[in-house]
Every structure is written in structure tokens, then in C-alpha cells.
Chains A and B, each alone.
Chain A
């Protein structure tokens, strides 16, 4: 290599302007890379709940629980109502208002 070329290259390198990097440049670059690689998060708790509801297992289990609760409460209530009506019938037969 020509010694003049080497001098010229050094001269050119020294003359090239090197702008100052903004503060925390490297840290910001890495943060943006990590953000880009991270999996997309759900937007809110509402979306998470909707996703849960749409799961067939969860939907079936919830429907079964509600059905069971409804049948139990209805049976209990029906039995109480029937007993109350039957008691009123008996009372009306054995103890009419005029005799009480």
C-alpha cells in the first residue's frame, strides 16, 4: 500500500464528524428490542374474562352450576310454598275465623 494512501486515510478518518449519541442510547435500543420480542398482552380484564367465558369447559361448568343451584332453590321454595298452602288449608278447615 502506498504510504500516501495511509496518510490520506488517517486524514479522512480524523476529519469525519462523529455526532454525540443521545443519553441512554444503548439502553433505549435494548428496551425497544425487548418490547418488540415480548408476546402481545391482553388489553384489559374485560378481554381476559371474555376469553375465559368463551372456553367450552368453563361455559359448561358455569351452566351446570347455575342449573343445579336453580333446581335446588326452586325445589326448596316449592316445598315451602306447598307446605304453607297445605297448612292454611288445614287451618281453614279445623279453625274457621269465626271460631278463633
Chain B
């Protein structure tokens, strides 16, 4: 093979190795430095650059919210277990099953209301600009979760239910 071509290929391989090596080393180091999987609130500190006092207040709110959230989630899980045998075998939706679905929906609505209250409280514990950004982001990530599905099922997406 031509000597010049060999030199060029060797240089390209070496260049790629230098770039890839430095890229993955820097990526790994940065991730290890910034990541803290044990702390659920690490994202708030990273994204909104909060101080220790703000983080301490948010930790308090978070701990209080988690207890309420866990209680509601346990109730939802229990209702779902009660619902399963009611819808499992039958070919039509019984009134008992419908009642259970309504109960689950009510619990979910309650849970969402608590969640929103918590987001508002956390946003107030932050400075105004990051607080507003946090609230908007959390609304989008939580309430917006259903919006895509609802939009795809509604006429807006061009899909229409037949009467």
C-alpha cells in the first residue's frame, strides 16, 4: 500500500482515538461528579442553582409530601387490587367495577391536587425566576403526561371516534 496513504490512515485512527478517549473520560468524570443517585433532590440543586437554606426548606417540604403521597399511592394500589377481579372475568362493566374506577379516579385526582400543592410550595421556596421555571416544568412533566394521550384520542389529531 502507498506509504502516504498508510500515514494518513494512521493519523486518522490516532486522531479518532484521542477524541474518543478524551470524550468518554470527560463524560464519565462529569457524570460521576454531578450525579448523586441517592439524593432525589439533586436535580433541583443542579438545575436551579439553589443555596443550602433553600435546599433545606425544600427537603422539609419534600419529606412531608412524600408521606402523604405514599399514603395515597397505597390507597390507589389497594383499590386497583379490588378492581382486578371485578373486570377480569366479565364481558361487561358491572356497577361495582364502575364504582371502583370512580374511587380510583377520585384518589388520583386527590393525589394530583396534593402534587400541585407541593409544586407550588416548592416554587415559593425558590427565588422568583427559578421558582416560576420549576413550576412550569413540573406542570408540563406531570399534568402534560395525559395531554398527549388525550390529544391523540380527540379530534384534534385527525382521529375521530365513530358514534
Contact = CB atoms under 8 A, between A and B. Distances in A.
A70 B8 contact: no
Given A81-B31, A98-B73, A74 B26 contact: yes
Contacts of A94: 40, 62, 65-66, 69, 115, 118-119, 138
B95 interface: no
A46 interface: yes
A69 B28 CA distance: 15
B142 A95 contact: yes
A86 interface: yes
A79 B34 contact: yes
A3 to B, nearest CB: 73
Given A46-B2, A67-B18, A83-B43, A99 B72 contact: yes
Interface string B36-47: 110011111011
Contact of A98 (B3, B36, B65, B76): B76
Contacts of A6: none
Interface bracket on B: 35 or more
A63 B18 CA distance: 7
Interface secondary structure of B, over-half rule: helix
B161 interface: no
B150 interface: no
Given A66-B19, A94-B65, A53 B11 contact: yes
Contacts of A99: 69, 72-73, 76, 108, 111-112, 115
B35 A70 contact: no
Q: B36, B40, B119, B146: which has the most chain A beta carbons within 10 Å? A: B40
A73 interface: yes
Contacts of B153: none
B92 interface: no
Interface in B3-31: 3-5, 7-8, 11, 14-15, 18-31
A39 interface: no
Interface of A: 44, 46-47, 49-50, 53-54, 59, 62-63, 66-75, 77-79, 81-83, 85-87, 89-96, 98-100
